[in-house]
A and B are shown apart, each in its own frame.
Chain A
């Protein structure tokens, strides 16, 4: 039997909430299960992948906010197969592929529909 397909969908921007951190925890565990793991970024979720995030604060007496989004760059090494980004979410936010911190595959709604249909499990964050 081939590996089960698990898709993790992230729809929220980082830092104002713990969604990205806790999605990443789940993604890394999924990858450790030898599943066929991919991640889809929708809506404000595309901001998780924005390049040039800078956690250095103007007030250095406070501990910096953890820049957890660096982990997205390393997902490939953990066996995550693909990072998908919804084309229209990116365009609506004035972003392009070159504004992102990791290589991704741009997908339209038709491809997302096919992607979701072939999954065994879909986690939404």
Chain B
């Protein structure tokens, strides 16, 4: 057996939230939408987002592609036209 990946996991979902502030939006894109399949951690993530006034949206087609249903009323599924509008509405986009 060979291990060539780092031992240290990246906390992909929670970390951007630590750096996000009121009015920011977190878009789950590509494999980001897999977060919708983590019932235990996603609930606390969404609670923290709500508390810090950060909204969460997920790319509709990336969910569809992967056969993932959105069971969370707090998460809006968006299309690319909405992604464009989000970029216009916020002063910068950061890809984590």
Q: Do chains A and B touch in the complex (CB under 8 A)?
A: yes
Residues of A within 8 A of B (CB): 11, 13, 16, 42-44, 92-93, 109, 112-113, 116-117, 119-122, 124
A107 CB → nearest B CB, Å:
11
Q: Which of B15-66 contact A (CB under 8 A)?
A: 15, 18-21
Residue of B nearest to A93 (CB): B8
Residues of B within 8 A of A11 (CB): 10
A124 touches which one: B4, B18, B21, B94 (CB < 8 A)?
B94
A2 CB → nearest B CB, Å:
16
Interface size on B, residues (CB 8 A): 13
Take A11-B10, A13-B6 as given contacts and tell me if A109 and B96 are in contact as well, using a CB distance cutoff of 8 Å: no
Take A112-B19, A113-B19, A113-B21 as given contacts and tell me if A120 and B92 are in contact as well, using a CB distance cutoff of 8 Å: yes
Residues of A within 8 A of B18 (CB): 109, 112-113
Residues of B within 8 A of A122 (CB): 92, 94
Q: How far is the CA of A112 from the CA of B21 in the complex (A)?
A: 11
Q: How far is the CA of A124 from the CA of B8 in the complex (A)?
A: 19
Residues of B within 8 A of A92 (CB): 8
Residue of B nearest to A44 (CB): B6
